[in-house]
Amino acid sequence: MRPFRPAAAALLALALLAAPGIAADEGPIFVPSLKKAVAMAKERGHPVLVWCVMDDDPSNKADQQTFLHKDVQRAMAGYLVVLGNHQDSHGKKDGTIDGKPAKVCALAPAITCADHKRAIDEVYASYADICVNRQASLCMPVHFVLDPDGKVVGTINNGTLASGFDSVPVPNMVKGLKELLQKAGGPGLTDAGYDEFQRILAAARTLVENDRMSEAAKALQPISGFRKNIALVATAKELLVRVDRVASAAFAKAKAALPTDLLGGLAGLAKVAEDFPGTESAAAALKTVEDFKGSPEGKKAMKEMARDAEGRAEMEKALAAAGADDTKALKALDALAAKYKGLPSGEAAAAKARAIREDPARMGAVKAAEDERSAKSALTLARGMVDGGKKDEAKAKLEEILAKWPGTAAAKEAAKLLEGLR
């Protein structure tokens, strides 16, 4: 291939840089060395994109255009990017590194040309199997993605190591970057995310020290659910091991209850999973429930659990409708106790009804309300008799109201009506 002269290469680089750019927070995070990128990845969980290119070759020149394209730069978001290039004819420009003025690389303004020259040596030494041919030459342009452990997740290349690589078109590169980001488990932690995880760990550690294990497990959920092999996740797992000492006892108790109390045991297992998320006991509880669901007795129990949940929902609705009216509450609770007999919801309804009946004050109010309703019904009958001209029968009914339900509002009305009939 015909090499480009340095002057021509510099002019082309300037033309590329004139293309529309993107906001810094939408683009790549450039790291000056492969070693530092892997260290950062271990801490934050970012995948690492390695992009090696040179200046004095047409296919590499085209690949630089791909590199600088705004869609590709956006697709690099979520990666730590290591640029490797043993040349610097693409030029430098004024910029800042770590807040200090510096001559930065025109292709990757967050690093220097000296950085990407050293990066080429790192790539050659560490990943020869995917980018160094039999002639011991580093084939470029070459692009591959590493996980936080430095293992290759995948490559985005055009060609083969034996025949050589060509530039990758923009659409192909964007597609490849998105696919490998997903394959690598997504982006790592932002600065804000890292700070938040540290805050969560500190709070969870305090909860554990104070034996508030369920609260600690729930607090750690954002970290325990973060599928990246980083130090903060490892620390969270250590705390969850301590939480699991409590969770395991609850799990053992719930599991042991299954043979004699299916619904109680299943409810206990569900509570372990709810109270201690992220622990081994929570996972074991969920697996036990799933395994049990597949058995004949499990299928029957699941139907009963669904019916029990229905009973609890009915009871909640009935009690809300009854409000402070214990008469209505008792009627509803008695009906639910009979309908869901043998289920926890039925037993709960019966227990609530017993609590009302065993409370003298509440039962006094229930009796007073029943007396008022009975007296009012009798008064309605008496008035009908009066309207029908049955004066003697009306007197008898009104006297009955006064005798049976004295002190009620209906009795007071009956007394007035009776006085008028005399």
HEC per residue, 16-44: HHCCCCCCHHHCCEECCCHHHHHHHHHHH
Note the pLDDT of residue 20.
34
Q: Which of 155-159, 298-302, 323-327, 382-386 has the highest mean pLDDT?
A: 155-159
Three-state DSSP at 214 gives helix
Q: What is the b/e burial string over 160-197, where b = at least 16 CB atoms within 10 angstroms of the residue's CB?
A: ebeebbebbebeebbebbeebbeebbebbbeeebbeeb
User: Which residues, other chains included, contact 312 with Cβ-Cβ below 8 Å and sequence gap of 6+?
Assistant: 344, 345, 348
**Confidence class of residue 211 from pLDDT cuts 50, 70 and 90?**
very high
The per-residue pLDDT for range 224-257, each reduced to its tens digit, is 988 888 999 999 999 999 999 999 999 999 999 9
Distance CA 147, CA 180 (A): 10
Distance CA 417, CA 395 (A): 9
Is it the case that residue 160 has pLDDT exceeding 70? Answer: yes
Averaged pLDDT of the chain:
88
Q: How many C-beta atoms surround the C-beta of residue 358 within 10 A?
A: 9
Distance CA 419, CA 421 (A): 5
Residue type, 178: K
Note the pLDDT of residue 26.
61
Distance CA 357, CA 406 (A): 23
Orientation angle between helical segments 113-126 and 34-44, nearest 10 degrees? 80
For the structural domain made of 6-183, what CATH number should be given?
3.40.30.10
Question: Which one has a higher pLDDT value, 19 or 36?
Answer: 36
Give the start-end residues of each E strand in 40-188: 48-52, 80-84, 92-97, 100-105, 142-146, 152-155, 158-160, 164-166
Lowest mean pLDDT among 113-122, 274-283, 314-323, 393-402: 393-402
For residues 248 and 281, is the Cβ–Cβ distance under 8 A?
A: yes
* Domain spanning 370-421, CATH class: mainly alpha
Distance CA 309, CA 218 (A): 24
Q: Are strands 80-84 and 48-52 parallel, antiparallel or unpaired?
A: parallel
Q: pTM score > 0.85 for this model? A: no
Q: How many C-beta atoms surround the C-beta of residue 76 within 10 A?
A: 23
Three-state DSSP at 337 gives helix
Note the pLDDT of residue 379.
87
Question: Which one has a higher pLDDT value, 284 or 372?
Answer: 284
For residues 329 and 318, is the Cβ–Cβ distance under 8 A?
A: yes
Is it the case that residue 24 has pLDDT exceeding 60? Answer: no
Distance CA 126, CA 121 (A): 9
User: Which residues, other chains included, contact 186 with Cβ-Cβ below 8 Å and sequence gap of 6+?
Assistant: 78
Note the pLDDT of residue 301.
77
Lowest mean pLDDT among 43-47, 166-170, 409-413: 409-413
The per-residue pLDDT for range 167-191, each reduced to its tens digit, is 999 999 999 999 999 999 999 998 8
CATH architecture of 191-293: Alpha Horseshoe (1.25)
The per-residue pLDDT for range 253-264, each reduced to its tens digit, is 999 998 888 778
Tokens of 242: 């301590």
For residues 404 and 375, is the Cβ–Cβ distance under 8 A?
A: yes
User: Which residues, other chains included, contact 85 with Cβ-Cβ below 8 Å and sequence gap of 6+?
Assistant: 52, 53, 54, 55, 107, 113, 116, 117, 119, 120
